[in-house]
């Protein structure tokens, strides 16, 4: 069987000392797109959209710092503890979505406090573009030929020639498509549900759906951590479980609070 061979150059524009990579373009570009969505939301709900630019800086820094630290200490702790200066070399790659979310949660709290916004209101609205950002980041991983799937003989398998010549699950595309679908779902629910229910429900719904998707797709991903657990779960699955449980508890609370 012939399989599609993916051999795209991760560098979009090479200017010698300066390189523009697909991953960086998609990562930063998704935040700008998210900023436009948040400005629309702010205007729609009679809040000052001029502060959204400031919010993007907070969330972008929080996402990068949180994702980098989580990758270093959850996926490759031995290496980075032995070479601590490597932690700062973000351009070499290595960002973990679980840490990125934690960084965003902290950054959003600081931003909400600075501008006297409801933290819960802000989190619920950030969930909408947040799913879109996650989708674009996985596309960036696809262009980098990283976080590849395990070998398979499925007809839609792809060969990542920068890795090897084995047909593999294009798991980055699976995950990206799932997050694009979540974005559309959140947007539809946002337009149809009462604002008070959106505020209570969306953070928990985001945690549950995003990390349930992540949990199950880990079964078709190659190993990322430089160590193994004594349990039949990957590092990504173990890190996803607390968010899934938090999401379930949050949704139960939101629905009960809406009825009272």
Q: Number of structural domains, the chain?
A: 1
In a domain, 3, yes or no: no
In a domain, 49, yes or no: yes
Q: What is the pLDDT of residues 217-250, one digit of tens each?
A: 999 999 887 777 788 899 999 999 999 999 999 9
Q: Are 169 and 220 in contact (CB under 8 A)?
A: yes
Q: What is the pLDDT of residues 63-97, one digit of tens each?
A: 999 999 999 988 888 888 888 888 888 877 788 88
In a domain, 4, yes or no: no
In a domain, 100, yes or no: yes
In a domain, 229, yes or no: yes
Mean pLDDT, to the nearest integer, of 90-107? Answer: 89
In a domain, 108, yes or no: yes
Look at the alpha carbons of 100, 106, 111, 112 in this order and tell me if their dihedral is positive or negative.
positive
Q: What is the pLDDT of residues 123-145, one digit of tens each?
A: 999 999 999 999 999 999 999 99
Model confidence band, residue 260 (pLDDT cutoffs 50, 70, 90): low
Cα end-to-end distance, the chain, whole Å = 59
Helix or strand or coil: residue 13?
strand
- Contact partners, residue 27, CB within 8 Å, separation at least 6: 136, 137, 140
Query: Average per-residue pLDDT in the chain?
Result: 94
Q: How many CB atoms lie within 10 A of CB 114?
A: 12
Q: Which pTM was predicted?
A: 0.92
Q: What is the pLDDT of residues 144-187, one digit of tens each?
A: 999 999 999 999 999 999 999 999 999 999 999 999 999 999 99
What's the domain range around 134? 10-259
Question: Which helix (H) or strand (E) segment is 5 a member of?
Answer: strand 4-6
Residue 138, pLDDT score: 96
**CA atoms of 171 and 146, how far apart (whole Å):** 10
In a domain, 205, yes or no: yes
């Amino acid at each position: 069987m012939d399989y599609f061979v993916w051999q795209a150059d991760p560098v979009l524009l090479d200017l010698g000392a300066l390189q523009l990579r697909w991953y960086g373009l998609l990562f930063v570009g998704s935040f700008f797109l998210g900023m436009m969505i948040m400005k629309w939301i702010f205007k729609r709900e009679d809040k000052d959209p001029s502060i959204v630019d400031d919010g993007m800086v907070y969330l972008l820094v929080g996402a990068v710092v949180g994702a980098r630290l989580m990758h270093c200490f959850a996926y490759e702790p031995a290496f980075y503890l032995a070479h601590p200066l490597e932690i700062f070399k973000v351009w070499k790659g290595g960002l973990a979505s679980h840490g990125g979310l934690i960084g965003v949660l902290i950054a959003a709290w600081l931003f909400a406090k600075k501008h006297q916004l409801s933290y819960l209101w802000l989190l619920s609205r950030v969930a909408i573009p947040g799913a879109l950002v996650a989708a674009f980041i996985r596309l960036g991983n696809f262009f980098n030929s990283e976080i590849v799937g395990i070998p398979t003989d499925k007809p839609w398998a792809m060969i990542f020639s920068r890795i090897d010549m084995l047909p593999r699950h294009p798991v980055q595309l699976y995950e990206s498509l799932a997050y694009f679908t979540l974005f559309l779902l959140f947007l539809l629910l946002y337009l149809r549900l009462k604002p008070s229910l959106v505020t209570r429900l969306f953070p928990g719904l985001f945690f549950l759906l995003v990390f349930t998707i992540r949990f199950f797709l880990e079964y078709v991903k190659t190993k990322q951590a430089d160590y193994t657990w004594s349990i039949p779960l990957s590092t990504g699955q173990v890190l996803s479980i607390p968010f899934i449980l938090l999401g379930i508890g949050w949704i139960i609370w939101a629905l009960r609070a809406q009825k009272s």
